[in-house]
Structure 1
């Protein structure tokens, strides 16, 4: 039996779906990785993103996310660290050669960590758990059970959408095996990721 009403459950699922369908850093980076380095790298990144979202959800349940939202210093530190990390990924994608991934001993681990770090440095994820998720918690029902379920629902929906992006973008990898096409696509997506990083810095400003 659900710890909250079916109507609330479905409303939250729809809200999470719409939020995740909004273009953002995760979508752009997943497209960059999957189109140029393949689905394996893309799914490793998805796993890192999923863990990051789950960790932030767990942290939020202990009130740490509220502390981040209340502290301008912590919030700004996360915001700019996230922006700089995205710009670094865009720069690396722009300058990388076609043999970078194949020369790596464990590319999956690298992309997993990048997906994880990108989301841990995203204050918008923390704010979602503080400002949006609690509005779906029903009074008179177990709060911990509700927040846990809603967090799981959000992570599952986000992961499903990210997985779809990997599958779609990964279909382009065989076409991009040509070094010239690979370089052009990598640089276009890297430039887009840099623009998303700047938009992220602007949209998260207080």
Structure 2
């Protein structure tokens, strides 16, 4: 990797760090799963969100403006599927909160699927990647290898930072060590899931 390429990578990593650190649906599902089901399930949720981002980055790498235009209707359907899924998660969590129902710990596959679908059904991520990645690619070099390198760096950074959220949530769960931690987590995460679904639903654009 040349010095010129390194000069492109460092600003990309800096901006990516800010983007990934900002709380969103991915962080919400990772933290809530960790609080309810423990560190291992939280890390498995990270696997799910990461697999979804691999697909989104692949679409973005191939996504010219014309290509994205042909997908516009599909992105709208994806948006509403995501809204429904967030509302479903929120309703389940609030039901458990109000009924004081003991929530079964998520299985490994359920944790990964939850992370996967929450991440994949956010069409804004695809559009963000499509606009974000090309800004750091040099016109003097082959496009796809640069995008592949940037995507790999983004994924590595995302896995690292999302795993840090898991460790922090697991530490919080251990410190509180309260019988009500599950109920509190259900109440907070349910409200936030419903809020995220409502915001996504009322956004005019994809």
TM-score range, shorter chain: 0.7 to 0.9
User: Which residue of structure 2 aligns with residue 25 of structure 1?
Assistant: 25
User: Which residue of structure 1 aligns with residue 44 of structure 2?
Assistant: 44
Query: How far is 1:66 from its partner?
Result: 6.0
- What is the RMSD of the two structures over their aligned residues, measured on CA atoms? 2.3
Residues 66, 20 of structure 1: CA spacing in aligned structure 2 closer, same or farther, 3 A cutoff?
farther
User: Which residue of structure 1 aligns with residue 102 of structure 2?
Assistant: 98
CA distance in 2, matches of 1:204, 1:29: 24
User: Which residue of structure 1 aligns with residue 115 of structure 2?
Assistant: 115
Query: How far is 1:78 from its partner?
Result: 1.2
Q: Is the 8 A contact 1:3 1:142 kept in 2?
A: no
Range with bigger deviation, 166-175 or 120-129: 166-175
What are the Cα deviations for residues 175-204 of structure 1, in whole angstroms up to 9, with x where unaligned?
565443421232122112211222233457
CA distance in 2, matches of 1:196, 1:136: 30
CA distance in 2, matches of 1:95, 1:114: 18
Q: Is the 8 A contact 1:66 1:130 kept in 2?
A: no
List runs of 5+ in structure 2 lacking aligned partners: none
CA distance in 1, matches of 2:154, 2:38: 26
CA distance in 1, matches of 2:81, 2:124: 13
Give runs of aligned pairs for residues 81-92 of structure 1, distance below 5 A: 81-92=81-92
Residues 6, 181 of structure 1: CA spacing in aligned structure 2 closer, same or farther, 3 A cutoff?
closer
Residues 167, 59 of structure 1: CA spacing in aligned structure 2 closer, same or farther, 3 A cutoff?
same
Query: How far is 1:49 from its partner?
Result: 0.6
Give the alignment's TM-score, normalised by structure 1: 0.87
CA distance in 2, matches of 1:14, 1:169: 24
Range with bigger deviation, 51-60 or 145-154: 51-60
Give runs of aligned pairs for residues 126-137 of structure 1, distance below 5 A: 126-137=126-137
Query: How far is 1:145 from its partner?
Result: 1.0
Give the alignment's TM-score, normalised by structure 2: 0.87
What are the Cα deviations for residues 65-112 of structure 1, in whole angstroms up to 9, with x where unaligned?
9634554422211111111111111222223433411xx6xx111110
What secondary structure, in the 3-state scheme, does the structure 2 residue paired with 1:141 have? coil
Q: How many residues align?
A: 202
Query: How far is 1:59 from its partner?
Result: 2.5
Give runs of aligned pairs for residues 186-197 of structure 1, distance below 5 A: 186-197=186-197
List runs of 5+ in structure 1 lacking aligned partners: none
Residues 119, 80 of structure 1: CA spacing in aligned structure 2 closer, same or farther, 3 A cutoff?
same
